[in-house]
């Protein structure tokens, strides 16, 4: 392990690319998830009338919105899992060359 040049890997273009894509994707998704979640208590507290609008029989906006939180959380997980396999491939490639990167020159 001592032979690995961490600084060189960090500045390797493939790692930079992984870093940029992952950062943008993860924090974007995280921000979306947080905003979507906090709309629920905020809406329940300050836009109560909106929640009371009936959509389908007794089923109202509030109920649908709360249920949608589950669906959205699951979709985020599913979406992330699909994208993550891309990141995995990129990381694997870097890991495979870990002992070589920084020693070429």
Within residues 6-45, the interface with another protein by CB under 8 A covers 6-7, 9-10, 15, 18-19, 22, 26-27, 29-30, 33-34, 37-38, 40-42, 44-45
**Residue 52 interacting with another protein (CB under 8 A):** yes
Minimum CB separation of residue 75 from another protein in Å reads 10
Query: Which of 16, 17, 89, 95: binder of another protein (CB under 8 A)?
Result: 95
Contact by Cβ (8 Å): 100, 34: no
Exposure class string for 5-40: b at 16+ Cβ within 10 A, else e: eeebbeebeebeebeeebeebeeeeeeebeeeeeee
**Residue 73 interacting with another protein (CB under 8 A):** yes
């Amino acid at each position: 392990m001592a032979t690995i040049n961490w600084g060189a890997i960090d500045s390797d273009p493939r790692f930079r690319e992984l870093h940029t894509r992952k950062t943008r994707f993860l924090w974007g998704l995280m921000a979306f998830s947080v905003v979507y979640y906090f709309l629920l208590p905020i809406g329940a507290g300050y836009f109560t009338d909106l929640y009371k609008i009936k959509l389908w029989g007794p089923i109202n906006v509030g109920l649908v919105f709360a249920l949608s939180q589950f669906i959205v959380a699951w979709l985020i997980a599913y979406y992330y899992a699909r994208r993550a396999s891309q990141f995995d491939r990129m990381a694997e490639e870097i890991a495979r060359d870990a002992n070589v990167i920084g020693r070429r020159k």
